[in-house]
Chains A and B, each alone.
Chain A
Amino acid sequence: MVQALQLASLALALAATAFVLVLVLRRVMLSREERERQAVEERLRDDALALVDGDDVALPELHRHEAAIFARMLARYSRQLSGEPRENIARYFESGGHIDHQIGLLGSRRLWKRAAAAATLGDMASPAAVPALLDALDDPARDVRAAATRSLALLGAAVAVEPIVEALAARRVQRAVGGWALMQIGAPALTRLRGLLRHDDSAVRATAAELIGLVGEASDSAELIGLLRDPSAEVRAKSAHALGRLGAGQAAAMLRGALGDRIFFVRAAAARALGQLADRPSIPALVHQAQTDRFEAAQAAARALAELSPAGLSTMAALPTGNVHLREAAGRAEIL
């Protein structure tokens, strides 16, 4: 028994010592690697910047790890650039076979390698990667799909709009990342988003309506107004919200009608939109909603009234019929 415990002690002591040694070695190694990286970056920075400027650069012979540091440096630069300098960087990566290498890595069995490749392709700025990145939107791993979405946005790939919206609607890409990506793609995304307002899937229609509210124009309001009668409450609410953001004055009458929707969050969205549109004819309906509706819808109506008529709101809030939602909105309006 004692012998067994002694052996266990020895093993544990050795393991603990090994851990400590590994920690010390790792610290030393990381410090050395960092120093090396800084030295290589310092040495190659002028070449990298000349390449970004489009100058003819005769790069020195680089060892493998130096080439990797150089590539990382250019990828970092590309995130901060657009236009011709970014194209210069893309040309470097294309001519060096880096793009093909990364596309090959998208087929790796290891998730993190696929995700790293998908992210790196965006930084390498080459449009040649777009088809492979579109395929990566169907990757089983969410991290890979997110990285591919981000890269497609950085590449400004309008062709990716539909797959990204579908992925967003199906929750295969995070809302934050997908929304950011479509805003990055910008105007080219708009045409395709408009088409998606008639999609069979209500989740796709809702997502498209929401995004048009963010990147669209007032001329998009006609289709959105039609969606205020959509069978899906989510679509109706997103459309109302988008119409408010776009400042679509011609939607006011329909939005006033939406204040009577049977779903509370549609009523709340309609109230917010009417406030944004400064639609004074809706004041009586908004007062009624603020006084009688459930919490979220009443709050939205009171806040809308604060935008429409701060002075009128103060008067109404002071009346015996003025409830706490009206008083809160009036108080805030006075202070802010």
Chain B
Amino acid sequence: MDAVRTAFDVFGIAAVAYFAALNLTYIAFTGLAWRSLMAHLRARRFSGVNEALASPLTPPVSMLLPACNEEACIVEAVHSLLALRYPEHEVVVVNDGSTDGTVARLTEAFDLVPVDKALRDSVDTRAVRGAYVSRREPQLWLIDKENGGKSDALNAGLSAARYPYVCAVDADAILEEDALLRVAKPIIDDPDLVVAAGGIVRIANGCIVDRGQVLDVRLPKSRLATFQVIEYFRAFLVGRVGWSRLKSLLIISGAFGLFRRDAVEAVGGWRTDTVGEDAELVVRMHRHMRERDEEYRIEFVPDPVCWTEAPESMRVLSRQRRRWQRGLAETLWKHRTMFGRPRYGTLGMVALPYFVLFELIGPVIQLASFFVLPVAFVFGMLDVAILVAFAIVAVLLGVLLSVAALALEEFSFRRHLHRVDVVRMLIYAVVENFGFKQLVDFWRLQGLVDVVRRRKGWGDMKRRGFAALTPVETIRLDSGPPPSESVPVVSASESVPVASASGSGRDRAVDEPVQRPSEFLRR
């Protein structure tokens, strides 16, 4: 009995210490993210995005779009990429052995014709069956290859890319029209230093989407997807902003990430033996650079630039979370020699230990308490008053951190303009502590079990396509363009003849069309 009590006491102390460390880290990160976001927002006014758009010195980018059975959304995804505001970019779609109508839909929509295509041999991939180019959009390529997984498809895209930067995008991602400019900003600023940059990913379920653009940001109708909106705020606005600030960003989302091509080639491209290929590549790039004592930066851009479809069913969400946890475990295991090594800076000394302690084995510790507590209660070793008080503190801390993440969004990008959505988010920030978070922990635990059982594969994620998610007929076409912070700039060539050719306009004859500068501005 004494042994059980001692074990329980030890577990209790460890659990409280773990809880305190985890939440103190979250609070510190929230503070860090706050400072970082405010500085970013101030700098955004002078970020020179419009100048970069008009500049011939902005580096060209190859967009890589791996697609496997994506017939529901592939055409819209390509339209969205082609419509990006960027001085020079090409789109390389890589068909990864689709068995549905992905290639047929692309061929029909963009008038693709077969061509020979020279591919670099810097990274090995499965056999490429053919290449196609669009007659309508000469900057659109399709590489058709045997199925080898997302990483293999990205590597094939890397081999086909013409430009010095590549941007990996998911087929179900919707990019804002200046997304590429914004995410390329760190590279435009510091091309010698920045080897990769990632953007924020947000949930598009419920939003009104038309022609590959999010017109109106709304919360999903699905409760499960709404919980994920809050989760994403915490993960991106707090977590990634914080890690980026500490120069230890471990993950650039596979949905939207920009990389210097030669840096990716130097580390061998995306690995095909992990389901966490996005994080693994970033960690490998960190490792490669640090082992060579090369100065570099991997940046996170907190502007909301990429929208994606979140799972709305338990089955699909559970698979996604199990896969993420497996990917994390695989990445951490592959790079275990970096742990606690000062050579790898904050990455080895802080970030990797954090990810092991709180992200990898966190679900084990958190869910273990649900088994230990009833046992302790049965054996009379539990002070119920303390337990209840502790539970209240835990829930309130969870609520506070979620509300703080919402506050970050409200004070920064404020994309949810409907008041009812803000109220709903506040409610969900409270409710998620009673079941949803525990459910996610359970799936993550299952992910760890999958690792132990050496389970492989991605599982399926059926896309509904955004046309199905958002009834297009509800778009209010009379509501004008979506809100934008940038003032439309008329180029000098447009403005000069209209505004200044007329001078003050006072000398003109009465029957001439009046061209006072004020009329130009009124227009």
Contact = CB atoms under 8 A, between A and B. Distances in A.
B400 A176 contact: no
Contact of B118 (A6, A174, A177, A325): A325
Contacts of A16: 396, 399-400, 403
Nearest to B192: A171
B118 A295 contact: yes
A328 B135 CA distance: 14
B386 A5 contact: yes
Contacts of A299: 118, 162
B48 interface: yes
A264 interface: no
Contacts of A325: 118
A79 B403 CA distance: 39
A27 B411 CA distance: 9
Interface string B53-85: 011111000000000000000000000000000
A9 B115 contact: no
B155 to A, nearest CB: 16
B496 A82 contact: yes
B521 A49 contact: yes
Interface in B412-443: 419, 422, 426
B46 A116 contact: yes
Contacts of B192: 171
Contacts of A23: 403, 406-407, 410, 422, 426
Contacts of B496: 82-83
A336 B135 contact: yes
A124 interface: no
B117 interface: yes
Nearest to B400: A16
Interface stretch (A126-134, A140-148, A221-229): A140-148
Contacts of A317: 116
Contacts of B120: 295
Nearest to B138: A336
B108 interface: no
B46 A150 contact: yes
Contacts of B162: 299
B411 A26 contact: yes
Interface residues of B, number: 69
A174 B422 contact: no
Interface residues of A, number: 69
B118 A5 contact: no
Contacts of B390: 5
B117 A324 contact: yes
Contacts of B505: 53
Contacts of B124: none
A297 to B, nearest CB: 12
Interface in B27-50: 39, 42-43, 45-48
A253 interface: no
Nearest to A294: B120
Residue with the highest number of chain B CB atoms closer than 10 Å, among A52, A82, A118: A82
A180 to B, nearest CB: 4
Contacts of A54: 504, 506
A76 B517 CA distance: 14
Interface in B472-523: 487, 489-490, 492, 495-496, 499-501, 503-506, 516-518, 520-522
Given A80-B490, A82-B492, A147-B46, A22 B115 contact: no
A5 B392 contact: yes
Given A115-B42, A175-B188, A328-B117, A2 B389 contact: yes
A139 B190 CA distance: 17
Given A5-B392, A85-B499, A150-B48, A180 B55 contact: yes
Interface in A283-336: 295, 298-299, 317, 324-325, 327-328, 330-332, 335-336
Contacts of B133: 331-332, 335-336
A105 interface: no
A84 interface: yes
Contact of B116 (A80, A85, A144, A324): A324
13 contacts: A1-B383, A22-B407, A23-B422, A81-B517, A112-B39, A174-B48, A299-B162, A327-B116, A331-B115, A332-B115, A335-B135, A336-B133, A336-B138
Given A19-B400, A183-B56, A327-B116, 9 more contacts: A23-B403, A49-B518, A53-B518, A85-B499, A112-B39, A176-B48, A317-B116, A332-B133, A332-B138
Interface of B: 39, 42-43, 45-48, 51-52, 54-58, 113, 115-120, 133, 135, 138, 162, 188-192, 383, 385-386, 389-390, 392-393, 396-397, 399-400, 403-404, 406-407, 410-411, 419, 422, 426, 487, 489-490, 492, 495-496, 499-501, 503-506, 516-518, 520-522
